[in-house]
Structure 1
């Protein structure tokens, strides 16, 4: 693992990385290399706080599942029970029922702007994906999301989306708390995840960089990175902006050790945050044979995470039944229950820390022994 991390840093592929791994509940590796701020020559530390991006999603999903376990929320609740004005329609004008389960599984028919062409409906409506400084409130963004046509009848397809931002609004309505307060009181505080928050509140964060040649670019404000048919627009300052709406999909920050606490809590049955049977349901494929485009061949989706069904199809050394996700600021994690392994890798390099040579090599290194 040292060799993989040092190679990625020395080649300039990754600016800085902090990685931690455990097996059967014991930390077996922890290391950091490269720079948290390349220009200031500030070294990356093992406890460096990074922007988690979509690694926020599993935490927010567990918050919702805890409310299900408490009887305050049901998976089959129509979203309109909690958000009466959230009524997106299909392209033919029909208004289908979207449930909490559809949000958790990304089968609601919603999307992300960076996954559509530049003149797509999310762009035309000015929908925020939670990474930019849009100036919108959560309610205003929900109104815009509801104005965009659904991609398909809920439950009939899978598409990565702003669904967890919508789920965050549901959590606020169910609990009567803001999303940051609800997540903190239900998940992060009980698990001792003190670094994991929605706003940095003075915390010095790792400086983010974007993939470029011959070396990654220091992100500007804003920063656009070509991705798929469109581009991801980042606003690094959003993480310290108290007025930005809390994005349940991409809005949290934290360090690797605290995120490992979360992953291990779910691996070992929920740690009292959710029931063991709920943790099992969360990390088991819940969408049948629907293809999961954002994860690739061999993957299904649970109630908040990608689930590995077929390691051969995925060309992965990880065991079937493993679950994972990643974030577009350059973060990734996975949990392999069969091997008792949990690994969290936080980098400050988008998107090389999330997908491509670095995470692939890191996974091979973990299983090489």
Structure 2
């Protein structure tokens, strides 16, 4: 009996699991909003022997960023805020300084595009200012709230004059605090009212409503991924998986949400098709416009940045089959996604293995397999 021919995507997924680079994954490919490939494979919980399946909820990490950015753009549309507003108009005490002591103006656009000069603790050298000040990256669980984290963040020196460079940052956490001031309500309520509620993203929130549905997280390890626990570290990223279970943890606008694949696909399709009723098409077009250029290298060579995601400026520089204008990002719990508007593709690969699922060979293999199978 002849064995069935496996697709390129099947081979990429099964190879990553067989080589013990990831524990499990849920990969979905849409064209024009229709599912053309979906595969749940591997284990959601190795210790319990639970298989990966489509009902599971994942810790989203930076998949949170475009959702909170969309909420912010609602207020830009309404004229309540402007991208060139200084952050001090809403948070008067948030005035980080350059190393020479000067305190330049940081605008909301700087925060949204990671051009503010802020950073993350995990991209610092050991013993850097963020680590000395005990600043949370939004992935760990600390005994203080957002206001205290921003107080500490304001004490760290800026890496450069705002607008003069690109550095991945806690800027979206600061945007979350701005939105709370503007709306006079907590960030989870804002996001639910403006984004997840209207799109019926019923399993996406700032903490797990049904903890038993969470995929168990793992970190890269040899000979196989290791079970993630509070305090697990990989590539300088410090994790507290219990954060997703704690409704009192401050809502990190850059990393704090949990959600299901089906929910995230609703959001990404709304962004691909011009807003999905939560934003105007012209607003989404502004979000999709590259503001950084290939020099930003936001997601590697050839990648600029828009509002909420990387934007592919030069596919040749990245050796990518994706079309110019492709939107892409990931999440530090092991996720990657992209939207290729030219080829009408939306691709989401959620895993429970950090960091291989976000920036390892798995990410490139899934991308290349999509175009081998479904490229125009």
Query: What range describes the TM-score normalised by the shorter chain of this pair?
Result: over 0.9
Question: Shift in Å at residue 6 of structure 1?
Answer: 1.8
Give the equivalent residue in structure 2 for 1:301.
Answer: 305
Tell me how many residue pairs correspond in the alignment: 364
For the 8 Å contact 1:30–1:46, the answer to whether it is kept is no
Give the equivalent residue in structure 1 for 2:318.
Answer: 314
Give the equivalent residue in structure 1 for 2:338.
Answer: 334
Question: Shift in Å at residue 359 of structure 1?
Answer: 1.0
* Runs of at least 5 residues in structure 1 that lack an aligned partner in the other structure: none
- CA-to-aligned-CA distance 1:123-157 (integer Å, 9 cap, x gap): 11110001111111100000000011111110000
Q: Secondary structure at the match of 2:296?
A: coil
Question: Shift in Å at residue 288 of structure 1?
Answer: 4.0
* Runs of at least 5 residues in structure 2 that lack an aligned partner in the other structure: 1-8
Question: Shift in Å at residue 354 of structure 1?
Answer: 0.5
Give the equivalent residue in structure 1 for 2:3.
Answer: none
Kindly indicate whether residue 364 of structure 2 is the aligned counterpart of residue 360 of structure 1.
yes
Give the equivalent residue in structure 1 for 2:62.
Answer: 54
Kindly indicate whether residue 263 of structure 2 is the aligned counterpart of residue 255 of structure 1.
no
For the 8 Å contact 2:218–2:353, the answer to whether it is kept is yes
Kindly indicate whether residue 75 of structure 2 is the aligned counterpart of residue 67 of structure 1.
yes
Q: C-alpha separation between the residues in 1 aligned to 2:289 and 2:260?
A: 26
Q: C-alpha separation between the residues in 1 aligned to 2:26 and 2:270?
A: 20
Using the size of structure 2 for normalisation, the TM-score is 0.95
Q: For residues 246-285 of structure 1, what are the structure 2 equivalents within 5 Å?
A: 246-285=251-290
Give the equivalent residue in structure 1 for 2:182.
Answer: 174
Question: Shift in Å at residue 289 of structure 1?
Answer: 5.3
Question: Shift in Å at residue 184 of structure 1?
Answer: 0.7
Question: Shift in Å at residue 290 of structure 1?
Answer: 4.0
Give the equivalent residue in structure 1 for 2:220.
Answer: 211
Using the size of structure 1 for normalisation, the TM-score is 0.97
- CA-to-aligned-CA distance 1:318-340 (integer Å, 9 cap, x gap): 11110011011001110000000
Q: C-alpha separation between the residues in 2 aligned to 1:2 and 1:279?
A: 33
Give the equivalent residue in structure 1 for 2:5.
Answer: none
Q: C-alpha separation between the residues in 2 aligned to 1:69 and 1:195?
A: 27
For the 8 Å contact 1:197–1:253, the answer to whether it is kept is yes
Q: Secondary structure at the match of 2:348?
A: strand
- CA-to-aligned-CA distance 1:267-287 (integer Å, 9 cap, x gap): 100112111111011112012
CA RMSD of aligned residues (A): 1.0
Q: Secondary structure at the match of 1:353?
A: helix
Stretch deviating more after TM superposition (105-114 or 281-290):
281-290
- CA-to-aligned-CA distance 1:161-213 (integer Å, 9 cap, x gap): 10010011011111111011100110011011111111002332100000010
For the 8 Å contact 1:157–1:290, the answer to whether it is kept is no
Q: Secondary structure at the match of 1:346?
A: strand
Q: For residues 173-252 of structure 1, what are the structure 2 equivalents within 5 Å?
A: 173-204=181-212, 205-225=214-234, 227=235, 231-252=236-257
Q: Secondary structure at the match of 2:207?
A: coil
Q: C-alpha separation between the residues in 2 aligned to 1:70 and 1:291?
A: 30
For the 8 Å contact 1:239–1:253, the answer to whether it is kept is yes
- CA-to-aligned-CA distance 1:268-317 (integer Å, 9 cap, x gap): 0011211111101111201245423x411101000111000111101111
Kindly indicate whether residue 88 of structure 2 is the aligned counterpart of residue 83 of structure 1.
no
Q: C-alpha separation between the residues in 1 aligned to 2:162 and 2:183?
A: 25
Q: Secondary structure at the match of 2:210?
A: coil
For the 8 Å contact 2:294–2:301, the answer to whether it is kept is no
- CA-to-aligned-CA distance 1:224-278 (integer Å, 9 cap, x gap): 11x2xxx111000000111110000000111111101100001100112111111
Q: C-alpha separation between the residues in 1 aligned to 2:294 and 2:21?
A: 35
Q: For residues 134-153 of structure 1, what are the structure 2 equivalents within 5 Å?
A: 134-153=142-161
Q: Which runs of 4+ in 1 moved over 3 A?
A: none
Q: Secondary structure at the match of 1:88?
A: coil
